[in-house]
């Protein structure tokens, strides 16, 4: 009996969290290459503004749904991006955050098992916690506080990875797992509490820029377009030897900056007169974060192309327009 794929060469794709920052950029790329996309989002942190330009697209469909509840669709591939990803949002309702990571993974894996779809998990560098190994390789198991204020996100994502690999081993599911390091760009939520959006919004409003601690902690910032390219290469990768390629795979920019250097770059690019003010470090805030992307370079031929100042200029332009429109969500 022929399958749907025998008479329709267009892939039908499900993207959970598709109205979010990264989900909406991913959907743009999927539609541009000819896929049909079902975007699922409960709009807790995502926003319709990110997908307004797609609502009349003939191959796009939006569904308001929370992934902690089962979903029954017929799809070829699943991208599971649903979860609040900034401390402000995931600590707002930590129980819901854990349920989104764990129940959401179970429900999407169950769907993938039923329809035999390849499934992608958007994991995070937070699985490494406050790392004692630097830079972080995929083989590092992490240093995570299981009962701290960030644990709902960190341990939720770690559990999701466990579920993905158990479904792979137990049911032969075709999985891809990416560990995302700090990513920024247009469509970030202006109130998400992430360092790039915080600094840009504060500078554009002429406010002081808040540094937690002395600003000596480090991060590695990857522009969204580079990250989405890595997503697509990982999901589409078919090893020449026919082996299974699951990840987990670090995707991020290996160039490391201190938080103070980021703040100074934002002030320079915006021309703001903002001062740097210091606040105490939040609990369990990692002191350093930089990915080892050797595996992604070797397997996918992928590495970031966009330099920090270039990406910041694009992001500043986005937030400048947003603030001038008087929109804050």
Alpha helix segments (H runs only) across the chain: 4-7, 21-32, 87-90, 94-115, 151-171, 195-204, 224-236, 259-270, 294-300, 308-324
Residue 93 resides in a domain: yes
Residue 317 resides in a domain: no
Residue 236 resides in a domain: yes
Residue 247 resides in a domain: yes
**Token pair for residue 279?**
């606040």
Residue 22 resides in a domain: yes
> 204 near 164, Cβ under 8 Å?
no
Q: State yes or no: pLDDT of 73 exceeds 90.
A: yes
Domains contained in the chain, number = 1
List the one residue out of 37, 126, 21 whose CA is nearest residue 79: 37
CATH code (residue 124): 3.40.50.720
CA–CA dist 79, 72 (Å, integer) = 15
Q: Over the stretch 123-168, which tens digit does the pLDDT of each residue have?
A: 999 999 988 999 999 999 999 999 999 999 899 999 999 999 999 9
158 vs 213 pLDDT, higher one:
158
Residue 42 resides in a domain: yes
Residue 228 resides in a domain: yes
Catalytic residue set = 153
List the one residue out of 216, 305, 298, 295 whose CA is nearest residue 253: 305
**pLDDT for the residue 2:** 42
Residue 120 resides in a domain: yes
**pLDDT for the residue 327:** 56
* Domain encompassing residue 21: 11-184+222-253+290-305
Residue 213 pLDDT grade (very low, low, confident, very high; cuts 50, 70, 90): confident
List the one residue out of 238, 252, 248 whose CA is nearest residue 163: 248
């Amino acid at each position: 009996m022929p399958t749907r794929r025998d008479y329709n060469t267009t892939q039908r794709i499900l993207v959970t969290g598709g109205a979010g920052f990264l989900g909406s950029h991913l959907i743009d790329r999927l539609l541009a290459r000819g896929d049909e996309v079902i975007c699922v989002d409960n709009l807790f942190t995502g926003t319709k503004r990110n997908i307004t330009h797609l609502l009349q697209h003939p191959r796009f469909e939006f569904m308001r749904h929370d992934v902690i509840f089962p979903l029954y669709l017929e799809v070829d591939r699943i991208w599971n991006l649903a979860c609040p990803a900034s401390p402000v949002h995931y600590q707002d309702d930590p129980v819901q955050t854990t349920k989104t990571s764990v129940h959401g993974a179970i429900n999407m894996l169950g769907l993938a098992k039923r329809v035999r779809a390849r499934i992608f998990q958007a994991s995070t560098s937070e699985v490494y916690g406050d790392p004692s190994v630097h830079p972080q390789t995929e083989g590092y198991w992490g240093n995570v506080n299981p009962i701290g204020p960030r644990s709902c996100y960190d341990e939720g994502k770690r559990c999701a990875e466990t579920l993905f690999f158990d479904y792979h081993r137990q049911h032969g599911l075709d999985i891809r797992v990416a560990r995302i390091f700090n990513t920024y760009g247009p469509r970030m939520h202006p109130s998400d509490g992430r360092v790039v959006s915080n600094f840009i919004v504060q500078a554009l409003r002429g406010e002081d820029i808040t540094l937690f601690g002395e600003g000596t902690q480090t991060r590695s910032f990857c522009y969204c377009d580079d990250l989405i390219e890595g997503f697509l290469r990982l999901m589409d990768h078919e090893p020449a030897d026919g082996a299974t390629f699951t990840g987990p795979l670090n995707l991020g920019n290996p160039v490391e900056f201190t938080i103070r250097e980021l703040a100074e770059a934002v002030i320079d690019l915006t021309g703001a007169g903002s001062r740097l003010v210091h606040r105490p470090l939040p609990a369990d805030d990692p002191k350093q974060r930089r990915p080892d992307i050797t595996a992604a370079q070797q397997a996918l031929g992928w590495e970031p192309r966009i330099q920090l100042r270039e990406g910041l200029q694009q992001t500043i332009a986005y937030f400048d327009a947003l603030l001038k429109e008087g929109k804050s969500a």
